[in-house]
């Protein structure tokens, strides 16, 4: 008994169309299947190694949340590993991603990273650890 890994993580989206475009075309994730659950629709993307991103669009309005990076008691972000972060940064910039922290080296954590927000305001970190 115990945790064996991550299956998926979910984002409640404002616009499914904008979110699909962002995750498929801007980030380059593989789009998987979608499921109509009746009162909401699920759209899955492949994050590799059996882990999925699950976008959820409710068919009714329940309002929107706002948070700041230092808000306590909330989910902050997911960090995705990338190879060649310089090329990734150039791609994100060229495609107009909403970058909140430009490519930088974080000395204390020994990796390069970028922070951005998706069309729903959800923060995503991209990082590449130093080799060696």
Report strand pairing: 111-117 vs 98-106: antiparallel
Radius of gyration of the chain from Cα atoms? Answer: 16
- Strands 8-12 vs 51-58: parallel, antiparallel or unpaired: parallel
- The CA-atom distances, in angstroms, between 26 and each of 19, 67, 96 are 10, 23, 8
Running DSSP on this structure, what letter comes out for residue 96? T
φ/ψ of 26, rounded to 5, equals -80, -50
Domains and CATH numbers, the chain: 1-59 (3.10.180.10), 76-132 (3.30.720.110)
- H or E segment and range at residue 9: strand 8-12
Q: What are phi and psi of 39, to 5 degrees?
A: -95, -5
pTM for the predicted model, two decimal places:
0.89
- The answer to whether the beta carbons of residues 36 and 56 sit under 8 Å apart is no
**Along the 132 residues of the chain, how does pLDDT read in single tens digits?**
788 899 999 999 999 999 999 999 999 999 999 999 999 999 999 999 999 999 999 999 888 877 777 878 878 899 999 999 999 999 999 999 999 999 999 999 999 999 999 999 999 999 999 875
């Amino acid at each position: 008994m115990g945790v064996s890994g991550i299956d998926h993580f979910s984002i409640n989206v404002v616009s499914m169309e904008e979110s699909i475009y962002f995750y498929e075309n801007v980030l380059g994730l593989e789009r998987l299947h979608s499921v109509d659950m009746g009162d909401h629709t699920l759209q899955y993307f492949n994050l590799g190694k059996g882990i999925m991103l699950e976008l959820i669009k409710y068919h009714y309005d329940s309002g929107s949340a706002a948070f700041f990076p230092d808000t306590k008691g909330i989910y902050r972000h997911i960090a995705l590993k990338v190879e060649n972060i310089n090329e990734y940064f150039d791609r994100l910039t060229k495609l107009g991603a909403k970058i909140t922290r430009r490519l930088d080296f974080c000395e204390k954590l020994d990796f390069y990273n970028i922070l951005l927000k998706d069309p729903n305001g959800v923060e995503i970190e991209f990082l590449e650890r130093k080799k060696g």
